[in-house]
Amino acid sequence: NEAYRYLQFAAENDHIEAQHILGIVLVRGDIYSDQQSRGLAWLGTAASEGHTFSAILLGHLYEHGRFGVKKDPCFARDWYELCHLLGVEGAVTFISAIDEFYVCN
């Protein structure tokens, strides 16, 4: 509980790694159940600040519908597009795989 408070404090004070880790902990339900939306928000915050692994993870969660996250391949594609913009070379492969089966606007 004390470690969680420190992690949350660091995340709230713009520590990008803490945002990423807190997002994972909440999405997985490691401490509290039914906190996926908060976890996704923290991962989104970290990804928006340039944390590439958060963006990849968000793409994966939405592409495959893991940990109770509703499957949404087009939203996953958006996160993979951010990965590409952040310089992740393999992101094009993920985007192409989604484009093969879905039409996203």
Q: What is the pLDDT of residue 105?
A: 81
Distance CA 15, CA 39 (A): 15
Q: What is the pLDDT of residue 71?
A: 96
Distance CA 30, CA 102 (A): 33
Provide the residue type at 80 as one letter.
Y
Could you tell me where the beta strands, DSSP code E, fall in 1-105? none
Mean pLDDT by 10 residues, the chain (105 residues): 94 98 95 91 98 98 95 97 96 97 92
The DSSP annotation for 82-100 comes to: HHHHTT-TTHHHHHHHHHH
Contacts 24+ apart (CB under 8 A), 70-73: 73/98, 73/101, 73/102, 73/104
Q: What is the pLDDT of residue 41?
A: 98
Q: What is the pLDDT of residue 29?
A: 93
